[in-house]
């Protein structure tokens, strides 16, 4: 744990890192759901919407990460990592900084005129920041370059443009008017936390067995949620930001006394500064589940083929007898290149004597992100077809990955030919 009285500075550093991560995630395709292209990006890989296993494990892993952090560390996500908290505090800090500057510079003005100037300046800066934040947020769902072109052409006719304008307005209203009220009204996480936490979950707690509190109420004044932590550590408004810890440490520090508010492992648990998280069966199970989803995700990613090859027989006509006595079957293929590199697929046949594959070109080129569909025929001399159903294998080899797939298939022909 960090040294007491430094929670505010630590939190601001974490907020800055989170903000940088918030920007980087969509721009580097670390995590992004591209709605127009129906693609899911994870760890730089482009996943197609039909790659259900990977998307499932990713979403379950992220969901359990939130559950695990709530069981272990309570509402630390709210105080340290949540974008609503980060930008609400930033907008409040901006407003009070502007107020201080305007007051200093225009000391001769009437207070009402100064306040009008503060509001105008604040709304201007917030409007520009809302455009940037909305741009970053929508980049999670629309390719950033495409989004930039829409923004540059002031597009408010297409669905993407309307979504961008709406998110900008909502962002502006959120950080101008709602701010931290969001945490206690709209956001369900605070209520969820009540269900996930237990007797060992990290809490901000006021402890004063020897009646050292000097009733200065500094802890109440600094609380961004406007509550008194001395009443209960389980107030739904408390986001575990630790501002009250710093405040009490500072004020009692001047009297050479230790602060009365601390991070603790549960209401009756030890101070977090002096001990580690207590372990129990619940925590082990939560970690094992998290590990299970992480392993599933790694395995699913490892088994992923960059080119999805699908082959199916065309059975509108079971088989065709050519004029020269040959028997032919028709097949349909679909090749989807899910990698950022050009690829090619070569088809061949195994376990079907005397068969000829009528396919051109072979290898079939597939551009990045493209799906190529087509049909081919397999011919056999009439004399080779002895059974109405012959089992064989279509082999697909993908270049440059050198991945080979064997697809079991049947060849149909007339009986006893």
Q: Which residues bind ligand SF4 (CB under 6 A)?
A: 204, 206, 213-219, 223, 225, 227, 229-230, 238-244, 247-248, 251-252, 260-261
Nearer to ligand SF4, 55 or 223 (CB): 223
Phi-psi region of 226 (alpha: psi -120 to 50; beta: other; left: phi over 0): left
CB of 65 to ligand SF4, least distance (A): 22
CB of 234 to ligand SF4, least distance (A): 11
> What is the DSSP-derived secondary structure letter of residue 306?
S
Phi-psi region of 310 (alpha: psi -120 to 50; beta: other; left: phi over 0): beta
Locate 413 and state its tokens: 């022909």
Give Cβ neighbours of residue 337 (< 8 Å, ≥ 6 apart): 306, 307, 343, 366, 367, 368, 369, 370, 371
> How many CA atoms are closer than 13 Å to the CA of 73, on its beta-carbon side?
14
Can you tell me whether residue 295 is helix, strand or coil? helix
CB of 86 to ligand SF4, least distance (A): 14
CB of 55 to ligand SF4, least distance (A): 35
Q: Which residue bears the tokens 């230790």?
A: 258
CB of 2 to ligand SF4, least distance (A): 14
Nearer to ligand SF4, 142 or 239 (CB): 239
Nearer to ligand SF4, 31 or 92 (CB): 92
Nearer to ligand SF4, 187 or 372 (CB): 187
Nearer to ligand SF4, 241 or 327 (CB): 241
CB of 254 to ligand SF4, least distance (A): 11
Cβ atoms of 349 and 394 closer than 8 Å = yes
Can you tell me whether residue 300 is helix, strand or coil? helix
Is the Cα dihedral 145, 343, 406, 347 positive or negative?
positive
Nearer to ligand SF4, 242 or 352 (CB): 242
Nearer to ligand SF4, 140 or 182 (CB): 182
Nearer to ligand SF4, 160 or 224 (CB): 224
CB of 66 to ligand SF4, least distance (A): 19
CB of 229 to ligand SF4, least distance (A): 4
Cβ atoms of 37 and 29 closer than 8 Å = no
Nearer to ligand SF4, 179 or 338 (CB): 179
**Number of other CB atoms surrounding residue 107 within 10 Å:** 8
CB of 262 to ligand SF4, least distance (A): 11
Q: How far, CA to CA in Å, does 188 sit from each of 72, 97, 111, 172, 237?
A: 18, 31, 39, 22, 12
Q: Please state the length of the chain.
A: 417
Q: Terminus-to-terminus CA distance in the chain, angstroms?
A: 81
CB of 220 to ligand SF4, least distance (A): 7
Nearer to ligand SF4, 244 or 290 (CB): 244
CA distance 168 to 130: 5
Burial code of 38-47, b = ≥16 C-beta within 10 A, e = fewer? ebbbbeebbb
C-alpha 56, offset from chain centre: 12
């Amino acid at each position: 744990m960090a040294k007491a009285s430094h929670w505010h500075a630590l939190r601001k550093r974490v907020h800055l890192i989170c903000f940088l991560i918030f920007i980087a995630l969509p721009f580097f395709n670390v995590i992004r759901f591209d709605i127009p292209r129906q693609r899911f990006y994870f760890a730089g890989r482009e996943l197609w919407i039909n790659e259900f296993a990977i998307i499932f494990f990713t979403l379950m892993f992220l969901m359990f990460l939130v559950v695990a952090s709530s069981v272990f560390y309570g509402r630390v996500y709210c105080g340290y990592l949540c974008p609503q908290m980060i930008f609400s505090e930033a907008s409040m800090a901006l407003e009070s900084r502007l107020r201080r500057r305007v007051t200093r510079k225009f000391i001769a003005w009437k207070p009402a005129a100064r306040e009008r100037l503060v509001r105008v300046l604040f709304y201007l800066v917030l409007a520009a920041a809302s455009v940037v934040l909305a741009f970053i947020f929508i980049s999670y769902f629309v390719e950033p370059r495409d989004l930039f072109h829409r923004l540059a052409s002031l597009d408010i006719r297409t669905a993407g443009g309307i979504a961008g304008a709406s998110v900008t307005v909502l962002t502006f209203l959120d950080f101008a008017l709602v701010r931290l009220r969001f945490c206690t009204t709209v956001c369900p996480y605070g209520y969820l936390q009540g269900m996930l936490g237990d007797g060992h979950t990290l809490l901000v707690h006021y402890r004063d067995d020897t009646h050292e509190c000097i009733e200065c109420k500094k802890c109440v004044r600094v609380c961004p949620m406007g509550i008194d932590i001395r009443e209960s550590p389980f107030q739904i408004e408390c986001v575990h930001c630790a501002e009250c810890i710093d405040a009490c440490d500072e004020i009692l520090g001047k009297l050479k006394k230790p602060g009365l508010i601390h991070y603790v492992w549960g209401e009756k648990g030890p101070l977090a500064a002096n001990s580690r998280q207590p372990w129990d069966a619940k925590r082990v199970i939560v970690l094992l589940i998290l590990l299970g989803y992480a392993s599933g995700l790694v395995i699913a990613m490892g088994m992923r083929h960059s080119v999805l090859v699908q082959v199916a027989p065309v059975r509108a006509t079971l088989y065709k007898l050519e004029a020269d006595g040959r028997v032919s079957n028709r097949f349909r293929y679909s090749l989807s290149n899910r990698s950022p590199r050009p690829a090619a697929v070569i088809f061949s046949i195994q376990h079907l004597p005397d068969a000829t594959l009528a396919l051109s070109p072979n290898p079939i080129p597939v551009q990045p992100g493209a799906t190529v569909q087509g049909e081919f025929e397999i011919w056999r001399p009439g004399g080779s077809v002895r059974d109405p159903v012959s089992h064989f294998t279509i082999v697909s080899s993908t270049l440059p990955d050198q991945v080979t797939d064997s697809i079991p298939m049947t060849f149909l022909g007339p009986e006893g030919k």
